[in-house]
């Protein structure tokens, strides 16, 4: 009796970086397990790796055991155990991660034809390795401002996931599920993907360009379309803020009407709201990047570092410099 041998579709190495996000890792790995179960054979294989082969703590404090070290993976590159895909799993504090050996390994794997992926904030590691120049990529919305400033050559989007040739990136959370389901769909068909969706209790695979965040209407609880249009204009013009006259011309309202609308809908003046979202972006840049304070100020539309510091202190009750100190102490703890 002949036994049918099914080929392995993909072998994947998940490289875990300390403080990786568990939900992104789990929703990337489990669809592979379910696919194998549905197919009745091992179409997907995976192993977990870390820098030294020791367990890696996730951002929730849970330690995850691994199968191999970076040194092991380097030895496997030239043999039959070379993976078809290497996925970097990261999360918090990724902007501080710098390991030349890991970067070199990723580049070599990519040059050998291995697909490279990044979950959650993994695009930081891929960009640091020099793999995202002129490539489309996705990253969690919270990390987008700092990433854009740190890697201007990368084409980063606030999408759920991006696939550019042999580079796969996703924004983390449940977006990892959507990216892996797309990959499984390419390997097999929609029938298998639909069966996996039923198992994990989701009704569909979301499009790569679906929103990471709730729409403004839901996020802010605002229904007025003119106010929403104005806020979208503000969010798109943070480094070079528009004047109220320019905003008024764009939406076809008078300055007085805009002032009245914002007082009613947002409980503050449009100028105050615009200032707050610029300072919110500045806070993300201070936390996620090593940009000098004066450059953060310019990137967020302030004409001077002193004016920026004054506004920042008034809103957050600490200076931009103190924000950085507090963040470093939190990471160290």
Q: Please name which of 244, 200, 214 lies closest in space to residue 37, comparing C-alpha atoms.
A: 200
Query: For the whole model, what pTM was predicted?
Result: 0.76
Q: What is the pLDDT of residue 1?
A: 43
Contact residues for 244 (Cβ-Cβ < 8 A; gap 6+) = 255, 258, 270, 271
In angstroms, the CA 65 to CA 57 distance is: 9
DSSP-assigned beta bridge partners for residue 49: 15, 68
Fold of domain 10-200: Rossmann fold (3.40.50)
- Provide the 10 A C-beta neighbour count for residue 313: 14
What does the alpha-carbon distance between residue 192 and residue 148 come to, in Å, rounded to a whole number? 37
Domain 216-330 bears CATH identifier 3.40.50.2030: no
The CA-based dihedral angle spanning residues 81, 87, 93, 94, taken in that order and rounded to the nearest 10 degrees:
90
Cα separation, 192 vs 51, in Å, equals: 34
d(CA 38, CA 314): 57
Contact, 91 vs 64, CB < 8 A?
A: no
Q: Where do the structural domains in the chain lie, given as residue ranges?
A: 10-200, 216-330
Residue pLDDT, tens place only, 53-83:
999 999 999 999 999 999 999 999 988 999 9
Where do the H-state alpha helices sit in the chain? 22-39, 70-76, 100-111, 123-128, 144-150, 175-187, 190-199, 216-220, 225-236, 244-251, 255-265, 270-288, 293-299, 305-316, 320-332
Contact predicate 302/309, CB 8 Å: no
Residue-level pLDDT, tens digit, the chain, 333 residues: 444 567 788 999 999 999 999 999 999 999 999 999 999 999 999 999 999 999 999 999 999 999 999 999 999 998 899 999 999 999 988 888 999 999 999 999 999 999 999 999 999 999 999 999 999 999 988 888 889 888 999 999 888 999 999 999 999 889 999 999 999 999 998 899 999 999 998 877 888 877 666 566 666 777 888 988 999 899 889 999 999 999 999 999 999 999 999 999 899 999 999 999 999 989 988 887 778 899 999 999 999 999 999 999 999 999 999 988 877 665 555
Burial class (CB in 10 A: 0-12, 13-18, 19+), 38: middle
Q: Give CA–CA dist 125/96, Å, rounded.
A: 10
Residues in the chain: 333
User: Is 26 exposed, middle or buried (CB count within 10 Å of its CB: 0-12, 13-18, 19+)?
Assistant: middle
């Amino acid at each position: 009796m002949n036994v049918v041998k099914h080929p392995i579709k993909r072998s994947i190495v998940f490289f875990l970086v300390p403080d990786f996000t568990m939900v992104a890792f789990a929703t990337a790995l489990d669809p592979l397990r379910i696919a194998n179960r549905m197919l009745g054979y091992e179409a997907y294989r995976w192993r977990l790796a870390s820098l030294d082969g020791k367990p890696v703590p996730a951002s929730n404090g849970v330690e995850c055991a691994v199968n191999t070290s970076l040194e092991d993976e380097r030895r496997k590159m030239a043999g039959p155990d070379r993976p078809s895909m290497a996925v970097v799993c990261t999360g918090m504090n990724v902007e501080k991660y710098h390991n030349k050996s890991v970067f070199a390994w990723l580049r070599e794997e990519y040059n050998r034809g291995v697909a490279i992926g990044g979950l959650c904030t993994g695009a930081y590691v891929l960009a640091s390795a020099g793999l995202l120049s002129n490539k489309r990529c996705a990253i969690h919305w919270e990390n987008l401002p700092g990433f854009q400033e740190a890697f201007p050559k990368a084409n980063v989007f606030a999408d759920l996931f991006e696939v550019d040739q042999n580079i796969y990136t996703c924004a983390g959370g449940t977006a990892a599920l959507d990216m892996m389901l797309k990959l499984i769909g390419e390997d097999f068909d929609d029938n298998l993907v639909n069966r996996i969706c039923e198992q994990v209790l989701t009704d569909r695979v979301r499009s790569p360009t679906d929103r990471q965040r709730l729409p403004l209407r839901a996020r802010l609880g605002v229904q007025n379309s003119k106010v929403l249009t104005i806020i979208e204009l503000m969010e798109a013009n943070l480094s070079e803020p528009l004047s109220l006259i320019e905003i008024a011309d764009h939406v076809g309202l008078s300055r007085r009407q805009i002032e009245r609308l914002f007082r009613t809908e947002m409980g503050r003046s449009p100028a105050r709201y615009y200032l707050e979202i610029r300072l919110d972006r500045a806070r993300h840049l201070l936390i996620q990047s090593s940009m000098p304070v004066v450059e953060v100020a310019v990137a967020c539309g302030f004409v001077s570092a002193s004016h920026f510091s004054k506004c920042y202190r008034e809103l957050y009750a600490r200076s931009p410099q103190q924000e950085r100190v507090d963040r470093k102490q939190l990471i160290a703890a």
